[in-house]
Amino acid sequence: MARVRLLTLRDHDLLAWLAEHYLLSADQVAAALFPSKRSALLRLATLHRYEAVHRFGDLRTGTDQYLYALGPLGLDLHPRAYSDPLRPDAPTPRSSVERAQRIIGSTRLNHLLGTNQLFIDLHAYTHTDPGARLARWWSEQHATAAYALAGVRPDGHGIWHAAGRTVGFFLEHDNGTEPLRVVLAKLRAYERLAEFGPRYPVLIRVPHRRRENNILDALTGVPTAMPVATGLHHEHPAGPAWTLTTDPDPLTRRWLHELPSDHGPDTPTNPNRYHDPDDG
């Protein structure tokens, strides 16, 4: 384990992300953690040489870059890493190679990269705004386990702090492949969660304006216990990219930190309640 001593704090952050979120592209790693893509690629090549990461050519998404997952050293440091994006209860892989093969062969590969992109963009934004931070980034498996009592299965969960406000959110990353009724049916679990836990906005992020308009039309006049907001894949998630379903003007775009958010009661029924360190 002599190679562990050669890892930086930034390396450890990256390996922890790969343990929870399966994989990241070279561009995503560069945007979130490095001052330039060149410096990111140089360090990633070193981590590959240390066997801290595996890398694969990104053939399925057509972006001509490497995708990164935990290598043998990375998996030694994170033996409880999530191992299968399709089957959370799958047997523990025999090696980091088997884990990586499950990930790269998953039918959810594009969905994983799209989900992770929102959080990567938020991390990158914190480099430009010293008052902004992503205080929590949980994967689907993490959030599903934490809120199992309500049965929610978000694609991701985060706590975002900017402009003096702290906003929790659940992400539903939609690629437009599911019927609209299936997407809207997911809101029922968030309604149950709002009865005893947080009332965080549910962000439904879609690929194009037509899909967004259909969702807004379907939810017009429909009361929900938690806020619901829509946005587009290409809009920066920290900025004015979100329309609340309760906004009278569907062209209204709110910043993420402007969305209503409630951490819920400080009771045993809400064990994962977020406590802001700035509150003392």
Tens digit of each residue's pLDDT, the chain (280 residues): 789 999 999 999 999 999 999 999 999 999 999 999 999 999 999 999 999 999 998 766 666 789 999 999 999 999 999 999 998 888 889 999 999 999 999 999 999 999 999 999 999 999 999 999 999 999 999 999 999 999 999 999 999 999 999 999 999 999 999 999 999 999 999 999 999 999 999 999 999 999 999 999 999 989 999 999 999 999 999 999 999 999 988 789 999 999 999 999 999 999 999 988 765 4
Model pLDDT, residue 279: 59
Phi, psi of 147 (to 5 degrees): -115, 35
The residues facing 27 across adjacent strands are: none
Model pLDDT, residue 244: 97
Contact 102, 84 (CB under 8 A): yes
Model pLDDT, residue 64: 76
Long-range own/partner contacts, residues 93-97 (CB < 8 A, 24 or more apart): 96/54, 96/69, 96/70, 96/71, 96/72, 97/54
Question: And the tokens for 90?
Answer: 């799958």
The residues, ordered by sequence, that sit 6+ positions from 96 with a Cβ below 8 Å of its Cβ are 54, 69, 70, 71, 72, 74, 75
User: Residue 161, SS3?
Assistant: strand
Contact 257, 163 (CB under 8 A): yes
For residue 133, count CB atoms less than 10 angstroms from its CB and return exposed for 0-12, middle for 13-18, buried for 19 or more: middle
The residues, ordered by sequence, that sit 6+ positions from 6 with a Cβ below 8 Å of its Cβ are 50
Question: And the tokens for 107?
Answer: 């039918």
CA R_g for the chain: 19
